[in-house]
Amino acid sequence: DGGLPSAYETSVAKLSCNLSGWEISNEALQAMGGYGYSTESLVEYCVKRTRGWMIAGGSIEVLKNRIAEDVFGRRFNQRAK
């Protein structure tokens, strides 16, 4: 209502960016071989950053659950009973 994105839109965007960034940086690491692990490599920096952001602000699993809650219109309890 106030021009801000909804929690659903934010979750979809973050999930999409996280998965894309991880896939791309991981493929680059695979292509670079051992040099990709070197701290002088941009690939090493990107892998660390994308992996960190996959955890910060909600893990991939939490984001998927948040999206599912909006799609199905109900809450999914994450705590064991």
What would the two tokens of residue 76 be?
A: 């999914």
Contact 76, 68 (CB under 8 A): yes
Give the pLDDT of residue 17. Answer: 92
Q: For the chain, what is the largest distance between any 2 Cα atoms, rounded to a whole number of angstroms?
A: 50
**Domain segments of the chain: what residues?**
7-72
Asked whether residue 57 carries a pLDDT value surpassing 80, the answer given is no
Fold of the CATH domain 7-72: Butyryl-CoA Dehydrogenase, subunit A; domain 3 (1.20.140)
Asked whether residue 10 carries a pLDDT value surpassing 70, the answer given is yes
Contact 67, 11 (CB under 8 A): yes
pTM for this model (two decimals): 0.78
Percent of the chain past pLDDT 90, that is, above it, reads 53
Question: How crowded is residue 70: how many other Cβ atoms within 10 Å of its Cβ?
Answer: 14
The torsion region of residue 27 among left (phi > 0), alpha (psi -120 to 50) and beta comes to alpha
